[in-house]
């Protein structure tokens, strides 16, 4: 009987994954990942994380214990605090220091869930590891393909784009062929305590926190002026790191006597002068681009393409696929062209590439252009 170690997080997806693996005849054990300790994780100045009470991590662990007990499986608990800090959180802070908007969940998958976790699972005698992601794999002719989840609204291949062939080879995604409603129905029918638990939100393993306050524990804010695209002062900002391209909420811009009532959006960042640029209208022209440079590209198929490749891309999670043409700049960078233009392509976020149901990989958006002119993002 093959042994599977499932990442049991205390959520409904991993709970149902464990149940399904049992039904399929595997020997199943759970492994709960503890990746954050507010008493230990503090910045170099020694300032503690004051938002610890908001983190639901311990409740998640208790829910994982309850699910494991209900299913009659062994549950292991392991600290990945150091690995998370070194491989995920330091990068997260470094990106915000560059006033970019990072996606730590992608690095968490690459370095924690499908690397550090796998090493511990191997020590526990695992033949396979399993996760509750909405994704699928297919192995053929010596190659593992990463495929979208059946539930297109929940598909999580965007967050798995940095995984390699080696990492994907012995992974099972038990709920990949199901919809979220089907997963909850299975949980309810089998009396799993997590059946009606709400979906997790917030930063991976940091939880639902007051983000400005949390980030200020690690980076000093530098307030400055907020101006429109003509240079007129509109107000003040709390620090460029708190804002992302296309953002509307949290700008603090009320009625302004010199402008109409159209909503304001972040359309640029002047890092040298510490100025946040805003413009009115969801379709403000400064929000659109037709090409970008993507770095740190991970190409999942064994053989990279040559010359150009026509495929589709997502520049943010749950975005509708965008037709693009890819061309290599070097082994780790790709130029992405999308003549139909896309709104709010943002440095620091991930660009993930697809051919139909296949996730080809992805990388980090570095620079954004409109007609070859670099956007001030």
Q: Name the DSSP letter for residue 151.
A: S
Question: Is 259 within 8 Å of 280 (Cβ atoms)?
Answer: yes
Q: Assess whether pLDDT exceeds 80 at residue 290.
A: yes
Q: Name the DSSP letter for residue 347.
A: T
Identify the structural domains of the chain with CATH numbers, from first to last: 3-213 (3.40.50.620), 221-282 (2.30.30.280), 286-374 (2.40.30.10)
Residue 51 confidence (pLDDT): 45
Residues labelled catalytic = 108, 204
Q: Assess whether pLDDT exceeds 90 at residue 296.
A: yes
Residue 52 confidence (pLDDT): 44
Q: Assess whether pLDDT exceeds 90 at residue 43.
A: no
Question: Is 355 within 8 Å of 311 (Cβ atoms)?
Answer: yes
> In this prediction, what percent of the chain has a pLDDT beyond 90?
82
β-pair partners for 224? 237
Residues of 239-256 as b/e, b for ≥16 C-beta within 10 angstroms? bbbbbbbbbeeebebeee
CA distance to 145, 232, 234, 243, 373, per residue, from 281 (Å): 41, 17, 15, 17, 22
Q: Assess whether pLDDT exceeds 90 at residue 306.
A: yes
pLDDT digits (tens, 9 = 90+) for 215-261: 878 888 899 999 999 999 999 999 999 999 999 999 988 777 778 88
Residue 198 confidence (pLDDT): 86
Residue 218 confidence (pLDDT): 84
pTM, full prediction? 0.91
Question: Is 359 within 8 Å of 281 (Cβ atoms)?
Answer: no
How many Cα atoms are found within 13 Å in the side-chain-facing hemisphere of 79? 7
pLDDT digits (tens, 9 = 90+) for 274-289: 999 999 999 999 999 9
CA distance to 7, 142, 159, 333, per residue, from 186 (Å): 18, 34, 25, 43
Query: Strand 128-130 vs strand 171-172: parallel, antiparallel, or unpaired?
Result: parallel
- Min mean pLDDT across 241-245, 252-256, 342-346, 367-371 is at 252-256
């Amino acid at each position: 009987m093959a042994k599977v170690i499932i990442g049991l997080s205390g959520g409904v997806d991993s709970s149902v994954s464990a149940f399904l693996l049992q039904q399929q005849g595997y020997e199943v054990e759970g492994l709960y990942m503890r990746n954050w300790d507010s008493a230990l994780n503090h910045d170099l100045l020694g300032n503690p994380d004051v938002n610890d009470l908001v983190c639901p991590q311990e409740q998640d662990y208790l829910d994982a214990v309850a699910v494991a007990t209900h299913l009659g499986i062994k549950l292991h608990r392991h600290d990945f605090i150091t690995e998370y800090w070194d491989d995920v959180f330091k990068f997260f802070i470094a990106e915000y220091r560059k006033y970019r908007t990072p996606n730590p969940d992608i690095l968490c998958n690459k370095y924690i869930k499908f690397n550090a976790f796998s090493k511990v699972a191997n020590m526990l005698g695992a033949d396979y590891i399993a996760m509750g992601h909405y994704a699928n794999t297919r192995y053929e002719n010596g190659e593992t393909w990463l495929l979208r989840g059946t539930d297109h609204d929940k598909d999580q291949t965007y967050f798995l784009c940095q995984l390699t062939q080696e990492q994907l080879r012995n992974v099972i995604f038990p709920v990949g062929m199901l919809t979220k409603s089907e997963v909850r129905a299975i949980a309810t029918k089998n009396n799993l305590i997590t059946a009606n638990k709400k979906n997790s939100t917030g930063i991976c393993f940091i939880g639902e926190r007051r983000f400005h306050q949390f980030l200020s524990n690690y980076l000093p804010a530098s307030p400055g002026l907020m101006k429109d695209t003509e240079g007129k002062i509109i107000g003040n900002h709390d620090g460029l790191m708190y804002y992302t391209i296309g953002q509307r909420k949290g700008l603090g811009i009320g009625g302004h006597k010199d402008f109409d009532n159209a909503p304001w959006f972040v359309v640029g960042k002047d890092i040298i002068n510490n100025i946040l640029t805003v413009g009115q209208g969801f379709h403000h022209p400064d929000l659109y681009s037709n090409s970008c440079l993507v770095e740190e590209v991970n190409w999942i198929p064994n053989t990279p393409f040559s010359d150009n490749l026509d495929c589709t891309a997502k520049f943010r999670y749950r975005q509708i696929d965008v037709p693009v043409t890819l061309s290599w700049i070097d082994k780790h960078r790709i130029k992405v062209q999308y003549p139909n233009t896309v709104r709010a392509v943002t440095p620091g976020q991930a660009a993930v590439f697809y051919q139909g149901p296949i996730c080809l990989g992805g990388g980090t958006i570095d620079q954004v252009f409109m007609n070859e002119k670099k956007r001030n993002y």
